[in-house]
Chain A
Amino acid sequence: MQLRKWLQPVLLLSLGLYFLSIVLTGRISLYVNERFGWLSWIAAGIFLVLGVVGIVELRRESVDDHVHGHEEPTHAGHRHGPVPSWPSLALVGLPLLLGLLVPARPLGSSAVSTNGVSTGFSAIQASGSPTQLEVAPTDRNILDWVRVFNSSSNVEEFNGQPADVIGFVYRDARFEASGQFMVARFAISCCVADASAIGVIVQWPKASALAQDSWVLVQGKFSVQDVGGQRAPILVADAVDLTTQPEHPYLYP
């Protein structure tokens, strides 16, 4: 009872500190679109206020009890309502536990296998504007490329266009022994719940040496080839360099 009573505000305070830490370290961008990052500041603030006020009250109360003894056994229950049960405390502790113990990482290839990587993600195009066409080819990210591919009526126009993109390595059975892999990113509009994987097929002789999920910088030129009976741009790489995970691992349509 005593322990549970203290755990109630302490867990809230810890959640506040956890939210503060993910916003301050930028880890928030692994979970939600940065456009909604300010909401996590609000959450951190409310958690901290609830936690601190709760702890201050419990301290004052334990001092009171010390001075006056326990002549009012129902006193605490009356002032604070019910103390959360152990299952409730455990559930509220679960996000903390996963957040602290499981190394925070962005969605990667293990999330792709259920969502599927799309090279022609027409859905993305809907919220895009034609301005991507004005972005210089080497400044386009994977999302920009997928958009221009979709908005183009003549795929041959991309033949020979230079590209310079960052993404993670994705390979499935299709790419075994073909000297190809996909350089992929997740696009999220709200949070990781609506993540969709998008990617560009890369041709690179040493493709099979690249570890799944490693972040790479790919430079090369597009060459339009037949892929499964369809004409599609394939990025023929001049260089594939390992790089660090970008600060914002997801792209925001």
Chain B
Amino acid sequence: MDIGSVLGTFSTRFLGVFIEAVPFLLLGTLISGLIAVFVSNDDLARVMPRNPVAATLVGSMLGFVFPVCECGVVPVTRRLYQKGLPVSVGVTFLLAAPVMNPIVLASTYAAFGWGPVLIGRYVISWIMAVTIGLLFSLQNQPQRLVTPQALGTISGGSVDAVPAPAIYTSRPPLLPGLKQALRVASGEFYEMGRYLIIGAFLAAVMQTLIPQEALKGLATNPVNSVLAMAALAFVLSVCSTVDSFVALSFARTFTPGSLLTFLTFGPMVDIKSTMLYLGVYRWRVVLYIIILPLLMSMLIGIWLNLNVRF
């Protein structure tokens, strides 16, 4: 095996993840730019209930307002933090939106139809996102969870890409506002894009090193299959808008519980989204955002395998 073909394969894999994910990141940065310019802190405060539980429930459904996947959701969450979104609500939004949005609903339906997989995916994702968000709402000093860069204008730092003041008295006119939104999106693409690229790079390295055939050998065991699918979801880093089709190719061989683990854990955490999270949260928080969904989705997956007949 010559070095040229190894590099060629690596490059194809890296570009595969990048090309598949970057349209969604770009859409996310555009939405983020539009929020930065056209949504004021007051607007958000008006929509958000004061009660933390109610706010978390609203956060879990925000994906239907901002339809973004796991790449696009990160810049949008960061922007919403700058607009004063409570940190715990943002965590719920971050974890829920990649599944709880119309695009993913459509693609899951296209792959599996109405049935246990689609319903299971939505119910489990929702429970996980809300539970983890509520856990974060117990934190006394939520601002400490987020990196200073991500808070930008709120903490008074000048590092953020928002040139406009954080508080508006009036909305900017449409055309200059749109130009401003594009400027913000462009800056944000550099901030978030680098994490995506590091993530795509690591995903390509892992796919080269970990033999997938070995994972497929674990397909029918109720516990091991769940572990394998969680690992696969993390390594493949496939976008949540298309992961149903990937799961479909495992549907006959793998246990139903492990499929649901793949479809609920994957959109919340994978190599590239972990890198993106580091642009918003402190690393200790990122660790929680990985471990909590991992444990919950695996426990639910294993429990379903052992107790429910599909």
Interface residues of A (CB under 8 A from B): 8-9, 12, 19, 22, 28, 30-33, 36, 39-40, 42-43, 46-47, 49-50, 53-54, 57, 78-82, 84, 87-89, 91-92, 94-95, 98-99, 102-111, 113-116, 118, 122-127, 187, 189-194, 196, 213, 253
Q: Which of A30, A80, A95, A118 has the most CB of B within 10 A?
A: A95
Contact between B253 and A9, CB atoms less than 8 A apart: no
B140 lies within 8 A of chain A by Cβ: no
User: Contact flags (1/0) for B241-257 with A, using CB distance below 8 Å?
Assistant: 01101101111110000
Q: In terms of DSSP, what is the predominant structure of the interface of chain B?
A: helix
A122 and B17 in contact, given A49-B182, A84-B190 (Cβ under 8 angstroms):
no
Between A and B, 22 residue pairs with Cβ closer than 8 Å are A8-B190, A40-B23, A81-B161, A81-B183, A81-B184, A81-B187, A95-B197, A98-B15, A102-B11, A103-B8, A104-B11, A107-B13, A110-B6, A111-B12, A114-B208, A123-B216, A123-B251, A126-B251, A189-B246, A190-B243, A191-B19, A192-B16
B179 lies within 8 A of chain A by Cβ: yes
B26 lies within 8 A of chain A by Cβ: yes
Please measure, in the bound complex, the distance between the C-alpha atom of A19 and the C-alpha atom of B20, giving whole angstroms.
11
User: Contact flags (1/0) for B238-276 with A, using CB distance below 8 Å?
Assistant: 110011011011111100000000000000000000000
Contact between A127 and B249, CB atoms less than 8 A apart: yes
Find B14's partner among A87, A89, A98 (CB 8 Å cutoff). A98
Find A193's partner among B27, B159, B179, B236 (CB 8 Å cutoff). B236
Interface residues of B (CB under 8 A from A): 1, 5-9, 11-20, 22-24, 26-27, 30, 159-163, 179, 182-187, 189-191, 193-194, 197-198, 200-201, 203, 207-213, 216, 236-239, 242-243, 245-246, 248-253
Report chain A residues within 8 Å CB of B30.
46
Contact between B182 and A53, CB atoms less than 8 A apart: yes
Report chain B residues within 8 Å CB of A114.
207-212
Report chain A residues within 8 Å CB of B194.
87-88, 91-92
Report chain B residues within 8 Å CB of A103.
8
Contact between A88 and B191, CB atoms less than 8 A apart: yes
Contact between B213 and A116, CB atoms less than 8 A apart: yes
Contact between A213 and B5, CB atoms less than 8 A apart: yes
Q: Which of B15, B19, B27, B194 has the most CB of A within 10 A?
A: B19
Q: Which of A36, A43, A124 has the most CB of B within 10 A?
A: A43
Report chain A residues within 8 Å CB of B251.
123, 126-127
